[in-house]
Amino acid sequence: MRKLLVFNQVSLDGFIADEHGDMSWAHKSDPEWNAYVEGNASGDSVFLFGRKTYELMAGYWPTPLALQANPQVAQAMNGRLKIVFSKTLGTPAWNNTRVVRDDPAGAVRALKNEPGPGLVIFGSGTIVSLLADEGLIDEFQMVINPVALGSGRPMFAGLTRMLRLETLEARAFSNGNVVITYRTVAGARR
């Protein structure tokens, strides 16, 4: 069975974007962090997105700027299969993209039961909450950024059940980020 992982940047106060949808606070480059991100991108995972995150990613990764600034990550982002959950997205321009218009949870259940590489969600708070409620997310890699936003888009907006997690690993970086990896505790939802 394929694993579903969430990799998200989060402020200290639990937001994945500020109140205007801006995430520039989460982009801090240094050699140690860049090496970690490149290592994470070196696998063969399928990327899952909600429409808003997909449009942000599609607006950056295929550009010459992305290819120049971070060629390994850009190559992974551009080359891999991307699945976007949206009822409103038209025909996607970003290569290797498939749109799922209905029943994200059912689509993910089917994907998890197929053979193939792991599945990774970036951003996409609505999709994360929906799939967490359905018990479909196996692991969370949360990049805790040393910034408090005061308001914005919460990581788990709309979550209707308590989600219990077990800490697997924590790693601090010189840029101030801390990556904490959590595993979902099976059967621990109320």
Question: What pLDDT does residue 58 have?
Answer: 96
Q: How far apart are CA 136 and CA 119, in angstroms?
A: 11
Select from 162, 155, 101, 103 the least CA-distant residue to 129.
155
Q: How far apart are CA 152 and CA 18, in angstroms?
A: 4
Select from 147, 142, 144, 143 the least CA-distant residue to 132.
142
Select from 150, 160, 78, 155 the least CA-distant residue to 122.
155
Residue range 156-167: average pLDDT?
A: 91
Q: pTM value? A: 0.90
Query: What does CATH list as the number for 4-184?
Result: 3.40.430.10
pLDDT in tens, 66-109: 999 889 889 999 999 999 999 999 999 999 999 999 999 999 99
With a cut of 80, say whether residue 42 has pLDDT above it: no
Domain residue limits, the chain: 4-184
pLDDT in tens, 104-134: 999 999 999 999 999 999 888 899 999 999 9
Instruction: Decide: helix, strand or coil at residue 36.
Output: helix
pLDDT in tens, 46-71: 999 999 999 999 999 999 999 998 89
User: What angle do helix axes 104-113 and 125-133 make, rounded to 10 degrees?
Assistant: 70
